[in-house]
């Protein structure tokens, strides 16, 4: 590792895992040979230098910022942070906002100033923010004024010292008083730039540290080689930029491609569909639930501009992929990513897509299926997924580093099978396996079968204790409007599953519910169902 650092505040660097607990990093493509000095905020300067000044960088409602305007706002925010708030390189800045133009500018402003971005989901409350602020030792914040209550609550309980708000605060006015140029801090390509907290389907949040070069690497792997964006594309998506899925899809990939970001002004899928139609969105990022929700909308959105649709966060069932293809003519690009790896490392696009499979390792990454002892398994067997590439897991001061990384490989906690042709098939989360009468049953397989029934909108399957069988499969089912819940439909669903997959896997218990517990990133929280079961 290059010894040079621009960080004056070295807290994050000082709390990286020891070298022997790090995954192996590999830079096997020419585009991954980054120079020793690199500031990821330079993506914006590069776009303007390439002649994109007047091109729309961000559009929302009836407003737009050109690349020149976005760069100017980012530079002015960098000056506010450095000149007024005392940010030094390496200092952490909380960014607490919904996806909006000022949040994008603030992200680049923090990065250009050499700060470490700690972005948080807009729905987090004071207590949850405090955990993150304490863990990353955050002293400065930029936040949307509508979220001031949570931020002020956290400020009262933590070492957070200064907050500037926008959209009802003074950030805009302070930025406007600054010159529009800024010399990006000359960070090392391996200086930390993000602490991304995991969305937490289980346990306490873990802070994943990523370097300046990691931000470029997600664009130079998944985006460049699988998504292949063109400058005329318009990107949009539901994941918040606090979630690295959203940071890549809604911010970094479009900017790295010189394309346009379209932002939704309101949450919800009608607002998403409205944005797609209004701005001619070509490239969409959302989770499987998002695609199912868009399919159910009744307001006559045509969604005809869509050309590329990316799904991640949880497995994309073949039934959802097929339904979306029938409705739109677009085959969804599934991809598995994680906060630890920063973005997608197995995926497929175009003719490479095999509905139901996640895909093949993204160029730059290697993936394997391992047995319990960590030995590679032959093709066709089911085991633990291991990956390595230009990015990887570095938890900030966390013992769990040893769980995610072993022998230089990142272990995602997923169970996968690689078929004879090399495609990777998701089987389940290691902790979502149900063992009934000695048989292993993957929750996802039963869920996929249920989802093929026309009356089922959403479902979740867990194992519940059973005296006779150890565990049995229990399904929680959300029905489409108009379907009648009751014992008759339960029996119909059970028979349906028995016809679709091996009968021993059928859910012996079925409960109809109005909604399923989800994380803020839309991931099913099976552990919440287990707690109540
Ligand atoms: C699961 C998937 C099957 C899998 C993420 C894209 O989801 C992201 O990050 P998280 O840290 O969760 C990681 C875990 O989520 N998962 C994600 N995608 C898929 N399972 N098929 C998929 N396509 O268990 C993984 O280990 O919240 C996704 C980009 C950036 C991200 N942070």
With a threshold of 0.85, does the pTM exceed it?
A: yes
Q: Taking the C-alpha atoms of 484, 525, 285 and 418 in order, what is their torsion angle to the nearest 10 degrees? A: -100
SS3 category, 169 = coil
E strands, 151-307, are 162-166, 192-197, 207-211, 234-237, 260-263, 283-286
* Structural domain contains residue 126: no
Residue 22 structure tokens? 């790090």
292 Cα–ligand 1 center, Å? 18
Spatial CA neighbour of 28 closest among 406, 362, 418, 386: 362
137 Cα–ligand 1 center, Å? 27
Cα(99)–Cα(241) distance, integer angstroms: 6
Q: Are 315 and 340 in contact (CB under 8 A)?
A: no
Report the pLDDT value the prediction gives residue 203, as an integer from 0 to 100: 59
Residue 439 structure tokens? 């048989």
Number of domains making up the chain: 1
* Structural domain contains residue 94: no
CB of 395 shorter than 6 A to ligand 1: no
* DSSP strand pairing (92-96 vs 140-144): parallel
Q: Are 55 and 71 in contact (CB under 8 A)?
A: no
Q: Are 498 and 533 in contact (CB under 8 A)?
A: no
CB of 337 shorter than 6 A to ligand 1: yes
Residue nearest to atom 8 of ligand 1 (CA): 338
Cα(283)–Cα(304) distance, integer angstroms: 11
- CA gyration radius, the chain: 23
* Structural domain contains residue 374: no
CB of 356 shorter than 6 A to ligand 1: no
* DSSP strand pairing (260-263 vs 283-286): unpaired
- Substitution candidate for ligand 1 out of 289, 314, 411 with most atoms within 8 A of CB: 314
Report the pLDDT value the prediction gives residue 472, as an integer from 0 to 100: 93
50 Cα–ligand 1 center, Å? 34
CATH of the domain at 487: 3.30.300.30
CB atoms within 10 A of CB 187: 29
348 Cα–ligand 1 center, Å? 15
Q: Are 503 and 483 in contact (CB under 8 A)?
A: no
Report the pLDDT value the prediction gives residue 118, as an integer from 0 to 100: 98
CB of 335 shorter than 6 A to ligand 1: yes
Chain-centre distance for alpha carbon 483: 33
382 Cα–ligand 1 center, Å? 19
* Structural domain contains residue 490: yes
CB atoms within 10 A of CB 350: 10
In the DSSP assignment, the letter for residue 352 is G
Cα(250)–Cα(260) distance, integer angstroms: 9
CB of 207 shorter than 6 A to ligand 1: no
Distances from the Cα of 377 to the Cα of 347, 383, 519, angstroms:
21, 7, 33
CB atoms within 10 A of CB 483: 16
Distances from the Cα of 313 to the Cα of 232, 303, 335, 519, angstroms:
26, 22, 8, 11
Q: Are 126 and 153 in contact (CB under 8 A)?
A: yes
- For the chain, helix (H) and strand (E) counts, in that order, are 17, 25
Cα(174)–Cα(77) distance, integer angstroms: 8
* Structural domain contains residue 482: yes
Spatial CA neighbour of 408 closest among 3, 26, 2: 26
CB of 314 shorter than 6 A to ligand 1: yes
- Looking from the CA of residue 249, the nearest atom of ligand 1 is 29
393 Cα–ligand 1 center, Å? 14
For the chain, give the number of residues: 533
Q: Are 24 and 172 in contact (CB under 8 A)?
A: no
Cα(450)–Cα(453) distance, integer angstroms: 6
Any alpha helices (H) in 177-328, and if so which ranges?
Answer: 212-218, 244-246, 253-256, 269-279, 288-296, 318-328
Q: What are the φ/ψ torsions at residue 250 (nearest 5 degrees)?
A: -100, -20
* Structural domain contains residue 67: no
Spatial CA neighbour of 140 closest among 150, 128, 125, 151: 151
Spatial CA neighbour of 62 closest among 272, 262, 339, 270: 262
Signed CA dihedral, 276, 278, 279, 280: sign only: positive
Residue 100 structure tokens? 């909006």
* Structural domain contains residue 474: yes
Cα(470)–Cα(359) distance, integer angstroms: 34
CB of 42 shorter than 6 A to ligand 1: no
Signed CA dihedral, 472, 478, 480, 483: sign only: positive
- Looking from the CA of residue 521, the nearest atom of ligand 1 is 27
CB of 414 shorter than 6 A to ligand 1: yes
Residue nearest to atom 14 of ligand 1 (CA): 338
pLDDT tens, residue order, the chain (533 aa): 448 999 999 999 999 999 999 999 999 999 999 999 999 999 999 999 999 999 999 999 999 999 999 999 999 999 999 999 999 999 999 999 999 999 999 999 999 999 999 999 998 889 989 999 999 999 999 999 999 999 999 999 999 999 999 999 999 999 999 999 999 999 999 999 999 998 655 557 899 999 999 999 999 999 999 999 999 999 999 999 999 999 999 999 999 999 999 999 888 999 999 999 999 999 999 999 899 999 989 878 999 999 999 999 989 999 999 999 999 999 999 999 999 999 999 999 999 999 999 999 999 999 999 998 999 999 999 999 999 999 999 999 999 999 999 999 999 999 999 999 999 999 988 888 888 877 788 898 899 999 999 999 999 999 998 888 888 999 999 999 999 999 999 999 999 999 988 888 999 999 999 999 988 888 888 888 988 88
Place of tokens 């000149």: 83
- Substitution candidate for ligand 1 out of 223, 313, 426 with most atoms within 8 A of CB: 313
CB of 223 shorter than 6 A to ligand 1: no
Report the pLDDT value the prediction gives residue 199, as an integer from 0 to 100: 64
In the DSSP assignment, the letter for residue 485 is -
- Residue 453 lies in domain: 440-532
Cα(385)–Cα(3) distance, integer angstroms: 33
Residue nearest to atom 7 of ligand 1 (CA): 313
Report the pLDDT value the prediction gives residue 197, as an integer from 0 to 100: 95
CB of 429 shorter than 6 A to ligand 1: yes
CB of 245 shorter than 6 A to ligand 1: yes
Q: Which residues, in sequence order, are bridge partners of residue 262?
A: 59
């Amino acid at each position: 590792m290059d010894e040079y650092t621009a960080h004056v505040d070295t807290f994050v660097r000082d709390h990286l895992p020891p070298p022997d607990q790090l995954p192996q990093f590999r830079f096997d493509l020419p585009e991954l040979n980054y120079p020793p000095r690199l500031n990821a905020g330079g993506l914006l300067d590069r776009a303007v230098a390439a002649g994109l000044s007047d091109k729309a960088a961000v559009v929302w409602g009836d407003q737009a910022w050109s690349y020149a305007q976005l760069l100017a706002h980012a530079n002015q925010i960098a000056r506010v942070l450095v000149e007024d708030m005392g940010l030094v390189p390496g200092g952490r800045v909380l960014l607490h906002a919904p996806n909006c133009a000022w949040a994008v500018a603030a992200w680049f402003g923090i990065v250009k100033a050499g700060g470490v971005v700690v972005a948080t989901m807009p729905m987090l409350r004071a207590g949850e923010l405090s955990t993150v602020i304490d863990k990353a030792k955050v002293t400065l914040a930029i936040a949307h004024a509508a979220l001031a209550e949570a931020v002020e609550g956290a400020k009262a309980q933590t070492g957070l010292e200064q907050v500037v708000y926008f959209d009802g605060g003074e950030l805009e006015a302070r930025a406007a008083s600054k010159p529009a140029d800024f010399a990006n801090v000359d960070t090392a390509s391996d200086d930390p730039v993000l602490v991304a907290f995991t969305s937490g389907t289980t346990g306490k949040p873990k802070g994943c540290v990523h370097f300046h070069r990691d931000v470029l690497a997600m664009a130079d792997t998944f985006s460049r080689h699988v998504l292949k964006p063109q400058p005329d594309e318009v990107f949009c998506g539901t994941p918040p930029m606090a979630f690295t899925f959203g940071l890549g899809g809604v911010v970094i990939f479009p900017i790295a491609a010189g394309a346009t970001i379209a932002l939704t002004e309101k949450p919800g899928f009608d607002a998403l569909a409205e944005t797609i139609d209004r701005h001619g969105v070509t490239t969409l990022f959302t989770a499987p639930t998002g695609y199912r929700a868009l399919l159910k909308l009744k307001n006559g959105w045509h969604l005809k501009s869509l050309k590329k649709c990316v799904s991640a966060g949880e497995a994309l069932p073949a039934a959802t992929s097929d339904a979306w293809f029938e409705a739109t003519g677009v085959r969804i690009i599934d991809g598995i990513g994680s906060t630890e790896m920063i973005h997608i490392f197995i995926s497929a696009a175009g003719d490479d897509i095999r509905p139901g499979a996640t895909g093949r390792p993204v160029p730059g990454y290697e993936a394997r299926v391992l047995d319990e002892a960590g030995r590679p398994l032959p093709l066709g067997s089911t085991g633990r997924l291991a990956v390595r590439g230009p990015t990887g897991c570095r938890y900030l001061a966390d013992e769990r580093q040893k769980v995610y990384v072993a022998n230089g490989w990142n272990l995602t906690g997923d169970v996968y099978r690689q078929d004879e042709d090399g495609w990777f098939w998701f089987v389940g989360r290691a902790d979502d396996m149900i063992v009934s009468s000695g048989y292993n049953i993957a929750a996802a397989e039963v869920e996929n079968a249920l989802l093929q029934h026309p009356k089922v909108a959403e479902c979740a399957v867990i194992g519940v204790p059973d005296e006779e069988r150890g565990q049995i499969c229990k399904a929680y089912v959300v029905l489409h409007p108009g379907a009648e819940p009751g014992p008759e439909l339960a029996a119909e669903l059970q028979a349906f599953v028995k016809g679709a997959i091996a009968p021993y896997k059928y859910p012996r218990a079925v409960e109809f519910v109005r909604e399923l517990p989800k994380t803020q990133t839309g991931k099913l929280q099976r552990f919440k169902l287990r707690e109540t079961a």
